[in-house]
Amino acid sequence: MNLNYKNKRVLVTGADGFMGSHLCERLLQEGARVSCFVRGNSITGTTRYELKNIKHLENKVEDILTGNIASLDAVDLVIKNRPEIIFHLAADAYVPNSFEHPIEVMETNVIGTLTMLHAVKDGKGIKRIVCTSSSEIYGMTMNGSIDEEHPLYPSSPYAASKVAADRYCYSYWNTYRLPIAIIRPFNTYGPRHTYDVVPKFINLALENRTLTVHGTGNQSRDFTYVDDMIDAFLIMGSHKNAVGKAINFGTGKAITINYIAKKIKELSNSNSKIVHVRERMSQVPKLLCNYSLAKKLFGWRPKIFIDEGLRRNIEWVKLNLKS
């Protein structure tokens, strides 16, 4: 895979989050000159910020920008950083948080995306921005799997905010011809993930605590291991065919929550009980990715499937519990 990131100036927003931290690691491995934009109380320019997920990289990154991604000040900060490529991952991504705080989630996810688009529009030398959308924009699988032409039926305020951000990105490409690529990741899991079903169940199983399944547990998701998704991000940031497009990335396998609970219990050698409780608000019955466009345009395909991915994830958690 010829990614050609060597000596490229790259800015990652949400760099200290789950996927952002993995992306920063890979970019540095590829020889990129990486800057991080992370959440802070106020815009403080290049004041050093103590990273959490990638503390081991603090001395390897070029700059750490801190502030509110939805503030207009963020535009100037990004322009002054002079990146060639921006990976915009900063988001309020925990779906239940949007039930109680829909306006705050909208501000981060929609206005935060707009500030980054305006940094690209007003700045000089920015050759690509990869904007992170979500499989949640689709709502549910209508027939079989979801391709990029599938209707958008957001079922939560979070999903609606991601639809708005996704379509703003497309409109700015169409109107201003900005170098925008939109990545639509399906449910991603792996080391450092702290919310959603996989990390919650792993932590509970290793402590032999009860695994709580909302509803019947027959609802299914397309779970993609983080290493495969980072490959997808790097392609979207470098391949000429990505500009002006929104592309799905997932495994093409629908895995039920019941399967996740049982497999994590088995792989963890856990004595946890599995119990069912009331269904969660805005629950989507099924999300299943059709990644045929990614395969056609880039030759991308997933390499790590659910059993192996869960095994790796559990081993990582065990190691980090000991340390």
Per DSSP (E only), the strands in 170-222 are 180-185, 188-189, 211-214, 220-221
The distance from CA 79 to its chain's CA centroid, rounded to whole angstroms, is: 23
Give, for all 323 residues of the chain, the pLDDT tens digit.
Answer: 667 899 999 999 999 999 999 999 999 999 999 999 998 754 444 455 667 888 888 889 999 999 999 999 999 999 999 999 999 999 998 777 788 999 999 999 999 999 999 999 999 999 999 999 999 999 977 778 999 999 999 999 999 999 999 999 999 999 999 999 999 999 999 999 988 899 999 999 999 999 999 999 999 999 999 999 999 999 999 999 999 999 999 999 999 999 999 999 999 999 999 999 998 777 788 999 999 999 999 999 999 999 999 999 999 999 987 64
Count helices and strands in the chain by DSSP H and E runs: 11, 13
Residues 9-190+225-252+288-304, CATH architecture: 3-Layer(aba) Sandwich (3.40)
**Cα–Cα distance, 268 to 212 (Å, whole number):** 16
Q: What is the pTM of this model?
A: 0.94
Which H or E run contains 34? Answer: strand 33-39
CA neighbor of 303 nearest in space, from 236, 240, 230, 225: 225
- Domain ranges (residues) in the chain: 9-190+225-252+288-304
